[in-house]
Structure 1
Amino acid sequence: MSGTLNNASLKTGRSFDLGKMNLQQLWVAYLTYPTILLYFALIAASFIGVCLFFAGWTVTLLTALAVIVVYPLAWYLLHRYVLHGHLLYKNKWTSSLWKRIHFDHHQDPHLLDVLFGSPATTLPTIILITAPIGYLIGGIGAAFTGVCTGITITCIYEFFHCIQHLNYKPRSAWIQRMKARHVLHHFHDEDGNYGITSFVVDRVFGSYYADAKARPRSPTVFNLGYDLKAADRYPWVMRLTGAPPRDRPDGARPDSRRPA
C-alpha cells in the first residue's frame, strides 16, 4: 500500500490494512487517527487537572505507579472474561457492542478501524478503573493523575498493538517476542497470551504459551466461539455483519491448519 493511498484513506475514511503498511505509514495513520487525537486531547485536559489540583509529587508518582501496576491486570481480566466471553453476543442488546469491541478484530486482525477500541466504551472503562485508584490515594488531583496515566498507557498499548499486526519485523528482540506471542493469540489459540506489551499476568494465570507446539490450534481462533451453530441460535451479530462468521482468514484453504 503506497503512502499516497494511506493519506487518501485518512481523508476518505477508507480502511487501513496493517498487513499492507510499513512502519512509516503506520506513524502517519496513528498520529492522525481521530481516536488517538481524542486520547491526546484528553491526556492534555487531565494533565491540566493534575496541575490545578496538584496533590504533591509523592502522591502523584504513587498514583501513576499504582495505575501502571493495575492496568495490565485490568486489561487481562476484561480481555479474557468479557471480550472473549460469550455472554455479550447471546444478548440482543449487547451483541453489537461485542461485535465492535472484539469480534470484528478477530475476524480481520489487520484492520486498523476495529483494532482501536471505541472511545464510547474504552474511555468510561479507563476512567472507572483509574480515577478511583487516584482518588483513594490522594483526592481529586490524584484522580486526574490516574486518568492521565491510564489514557497514556492506552495510547502506548494501541501503538504496540498496531505493531503486532503490521507488515514489519521489529529490530528489537523484545518487540519481536511480544509480537510473536500476540500473533499466536490471533492465529493459533485465542485462549492464551491475552497481554499486549507484557505477558506477566498471563504467566501468573497460566494462560501464557511461547509457541504453536505448546498446544493444538484452536478451531475458534477467528470466531471466538461464535460459529455457525452459535450464529443460528444467536443471530444478531451475524445480521449486523451481513455474513456468516468465518473460521479462517480470507484466502485460507478449507483444510489449512497453519496460522496465516
Structure 2
Amino acid sequence: MKDFRKNGLTLAEAARVFSGHRNARVLLPAAATAIAARALMGRFTRRDAVVAGAAVAMEPFVEWLVHVHVLHAKYRKGEETLIARSHRMHHQDPRDPGLVFIPEHVVLPAVAGIAVINAVLLRRPRAVMTGVATTWTLLAAYEWTHFLIHSSYVPKTALYRTLRRTHQLHHFRNENYWYGIITPVSDKVLNTYPGKDEVPPSKTVKNLGVTESV
C-alpha cells in the first residue's frame, strides 16, 4: 500500500495496489466465477435482463442506506459496532489506505449474504446466478471506486471527477451529505446532494459526533 498516495499514480499502478489487498482477492475472483458460471448455464432471457437491471437500479439506494444507517449509525455511549467504528476511523484519517476498504471481517459474510438473498428472492437457478453475478460485481465495483477516490490517482473523466469531488465534500465539509460512491443518483433522489455552499462546514466531520475515547 506504500504507493497509494504517491505522486503521479497511474490507473494501472492503482489497479496493482488494489489487486494486492485481501478484499480484492476475494471479490474479483468471486465476481468472475459467478459470471463464468452464469455463462455456462446458458439460455439468457428477458428475466435475466430484469434481474440484472433491478440490481443495478437498486445498488445506489442500498449503498445509501448502508452508509447512512450502518456506517454512520448514531453512537450510544459504550455501544458501537465494529463496522461503524472502522468507518469513523476512516473519517478521522481518510488518507489511510488500510481504512479505505470494507473491514475484512465483513467481506465474506457480505458475499455469502448477497448469495442467500438472491437465492431466496429469485429461486430459479439461472435467475439466481444472474443476480449473484451482478451484485457481486457491483460490490467489487464499489470497493474499487472507493479505493480509487481516496488514492492519489488524478481523475480523467467527468463522472469520476464528480464522484471524487463529492466524496471529498463528504469527508472534509459535511458528513451528512454526499453519501454515494459509485453514482450520485441516490443522493440526488434522496436530497443529500446540495451544492457545496448550501450547507455549512460540519464540526463533526472527522469524529462523526463521537468525542469520547472508545
The answer to whether the aligner puts 1:42 opposite 2:30 as a matched pair is: yes
The answer to whether the aligner puts 1:209 opposite 2:183 as a matched pair is: no
Task: Identify the residue that residue 210 of structure 2 maps to in structure 1.
Answer: 226
Matches within 5 A, 1:95-174: 95-100=81-86, 102-125=87-110, 127-129=112-114, 131-133=116-118, 135-137=120-122, 139-174=124-159
Gaps of 5+ in 2: none
CA distance 1:191–1:47, shift in 2 (3 Å): same
CA distance 1:129–1:40, shift in 2 (3 Å): closer
Task: Identify the residue that residue 78 of structure 1 maps to in structure 2.
Answer: 66
For 1:42, the aligned partner's letter is: A
The answer to whether the aligner puts 1:20 opposite 2:6 as a matched pair is: yes
1:191 corresponds, among 147, 165, 176, to 176
Deviation, structure 1 residue 123:
4.1
Distance 2:3 2:207 in 1: 19
Deviation, structure 1 residue 208:
0.9
Distance 1:136 1:226 in 2: 38
The two structures have a TM-score, normalised by structure 1, of 0.71
The two structures have a TM-score, normalised by structure 2, of 0.85
Which range moved further: 139-148 or 199-208? 139-148
Deviation, structure 1 residue 110:
1.6
Deviation, structure 1 residue 177:
1.5
For 2:85, the aligned partner's letter is: K
CA distance 1:60–1:120, shift in 2 (3 Å): farther
Task: Identify the residue that residue 166 of structure 2 maps to in structure 1.
Answer: 181
Which range moved further: 181-190 or 136-145? 136-145
Distance 1:197 1:215 in 2: 22
Which range moved further: 122-131 or 64-73? 122-131
For 1:99, the aligned partner's letter is: R
For 1:29, the aligned partner's letter is: V
- Rg larger in structure: 1
Distance 1:51 1:172 in 2: 31
For 2:84, the aligned partner's letter is: W
Deviation, structure 1 residue 170:
1.2
Matches within 5 A, 1:231-242: 231=212, 235=213, 238=214
For 2:51, the aligned partner's letter is: T
For 1:226, the aligned partner's letter is: V
Gaps of 5+ in 1: 1-14, 239-260
Backbone CA RMSD of aligned residues? 2.5
Task: Identify the residue that residue 52 of structure 2 maps to in structure 1.
Answer: 64
Distance 1:89 1:154 in 2: 31
Deviation, structure 1 residue 162:
2.2
Note if contact 1:67-1:130 (Cα within 8 Å) is conserved in structure 2.
no
For 1:217, the aligned partner's letter is: P
CA distance 1:147–1:57, shift in 2 (3 Å): same
Deviation, structure 1 residue 41:
1.8
Deviation, structure 1 residue 191:
0.2
Deviation, structure 1 residue 179:
0.9
CA distance 1:98–1:61, shift in 2 (3 Å): same
